Structure formats: C-alpha cells, structure tokens
Amino acid sequence: MAKSNWAPFPHPDKGFDYAGDKLAKAWPRLHAGDQEPFPDEKHVAKLLKANAKLGKDAGKLATQLQDAWRAFHRGDFQQAHDTGTTLKALGASVAIKAGGIHATYLVANDKDKITRYEALAKLADEAIVALPNETNSHYRRAFALGRYSQCLSITQALTQGIAGKVKSSLDTALKLAPKHAEAHTALGLYHAEIVGKVGGMLAKLTYGASAAEADKQLHEAMKLTPDSPIAWIEYANALLLLHGDKREDDAATAYAKAAKLKPRDAMEALDAAFAAAQIE
C-alpha cells in the first residue's frame, strides 16, 4: 500500500514510548493478550535454530525486531509493518498486528482494507510454513482473515470458506497457548458472528457455532485480561450480534468499561477511543 495511505496515529502519547529497557519491563503487560514472546537474542536464536533460512545474526535480528515492536506500541504502524515484513517470518507477527490495527481504525476505504488484509493473510501463511510451532503464526492468520471477512458480505465470506480457516487457526493457536486471551476473544466473536448472521440452528448444524460458546470464550478472555479494552469491546459487539436491542444496555456498559481503561500503547488508545464513540 502506498505510503500516503498510511494515515498517522491520531493520539500520540509520550507514555507509549518504550525506548531502551522500558520495552522488556513493560512487555508482560503489553503482551498479556497475545502471549508474544519477548524477542531477545535467546528467543530469536531459538527461532533461527528452527529455521536457518530466516537469518544468522540473532543479536542483530533481535534488535530490529524490538525496534519494530517499539514502533508499533508508540503508533508508528507503517514503520512497524515495514520492518516486520523485511524480517519475513521472524517479523510477521508485528507486521500483521501493525498493518491490521492500522487498517481497522485508520483506513476508511473497504477496498484498501481488503488489499491490506489479503497481503497480511499471505504473510501469515508464509509464517505458518516457516515457524509452525509459534502460536502467533497461527493467531495472526486468524486475525487477518477475520478482519478481511468483516469487509465482505456473510455470503461471500462463507462461500470463500474463510470461517473454517479462521476456526482452524484459532484452534491451533489455543492448543499451543491455552491462555492466549486475544485468540479466546476472536473465537468468541467467530461463534457470535456466525450465529448472528445465519441463525442459531444453521450455525450449530453447519459450523458447530453457538451463542453459549461465544459467551464462554469471551468471558475467558475478560478473565485473562480484565484491563484490555479489546476484550470488553468484542464482548459488547458479540452481545449486539447475538441479542440486538435486548442487550443494548449491557453492551453499553461493556463499551464504557473499555473506554475508561488507561491505554498502555497506541493500539489500546485506538480501542478505547472506538469504545467511547459507541456510547456517545
């Protein structure tokens, strides 16, 4: 996507700058939701051992990867995406997260969003081949395909078999990391979207999707990451998908909870701003 299409992050904050040692110290809080391992030299060396084609200098690659994540957290999404992409499978996680979050909130045109998500899904496919034992190789594929499907009609999404691909990737991610809150959130939303769009009986018979499973997965995510805006936002979205006006007040309460949480980085600032806009 052309440089001009990367709209800047609208809520810059010095608190989102994790320079130097700040990144490692804040990492457990910043990545409670996606369980991303801290990309120090030891971790990168382990990945290189798993796939020697990804590079040789673990120290240098770790530095580049940490800088890409710093860029993501402060809202320099294009820098994070581009650096991650040049690092191939090693940087796929940060590239997909940066490109996807930016597209979700800061790209207005659906055609541009689709182009972005298609490229990110391709990057995720490559990461799965290169690093199949990394949880986020699978989770980011589900994330990219899930966002892509939201730009299509339900008929298009189901015809293309996207639901099955998303479910398969999320199941694999949760097998590798059972406490992956963002994967629980995404799985909950998967169930809610299918039930909301095709009806309870067809959803159950054709896709094994149910409102009860949506509720279970979303509550698990909120339990694992109670301070994460996106866990509450997607719970609210699911309530509206499944119950419409009947649960409007509960959805508003969940959006309000998300809006009041103090953002720890650029992504959470965008999440919180979105939540606030839902209850204005």
Do 161 and 186 share a domain, yes or no?
Answer: no
Query: What are 51-88's pLDDT values in tens digits?
Result: 999 999 999 999 999 999 999 999 999 999 999 999 99
Please give the Cα distance from 217 to 252 (Å, whole number): 20
Do 159 and 37 share a domain, yes or no?
Answer: yes
Checking if the pLDDT of 216 tops 50, the result is yes
Please say which residue of 171, 198, 225 terminates a domain.
Answer: 171
The reported pLDDT for the residue numbered 5 is 65
Do 37 and 162 share a domain, yes or no?
Answer: yes
The reported pLDDT for the residue numbered 2 is 41
Please say which residue of 122, 140, 171 terminates a domain.
Answer: 171
For residue 9, being part of any structural domain is answered with no
Q: What confidence category does residue 3 fall into, taking pLDDT thresholds of 50, 70 and 90?
A: very low
The label of the residue with tokens 């149910």 reads: 210
CATH number, domain of 198, equals 1.25.40
For residue 254, being part of any structural domain is answered with yes
Comparing 209 with 127, which gets the higher pLDDT?
127
Query: What are 255-280's pLDDT values in tens digits?
Result: 999 999 999 999 999 999 999 999 98
Query: What are 104-142's pLDDT values in tens digits?
Result: 999 999 999 999 999 999 999 999 999 999 999 999 999
Residue 213: partners with Cβ closer than 8 Å, 6 or more residues away: 187, 188, 191
| Section 3-12 average pLDDT | 84
**Chain-wide mean pLDDT for the chain?**
95
The reported pLDDT for the residue numbered 147 is 95
For residue 21, being part of any structural domain is answered with no
Number of domains present in the structure of the chain: 2
The reported pLDDT for the residue numbered 127 is 98
Q: Which structural domain range is residue 267 located in?
A: 179-280
For residue 126, being part of any structural domain is answered with yes
Please say which residue of 146, 171, 196 terminates a domain.
Answer: 171
Do 139 and 263 share a domain, yes or no?
Answer: no
Do 166 and 194 share a domain, yes or no?
Answer: no
Do 160 and 184 share a domain, yes or no?
Answer: no
For residue 3, being part of any structural domain is answered with no
pTM over 0.85: yes
Do 192 and 273 share a domain, yes or no?
Answer: yes
For residue 210, being part of any structural domain is answered with yes
In the chain, pLDDT over 90 holds for what percent of residues? 87
Do 277 and 155 share a domain, yes or no?
Answer: no
For residue 276, being part of any structural domain is answered with yes
Residue 7: partners with Cβ closer than 8 Å, 6 or more residues away: 102, 106, 107
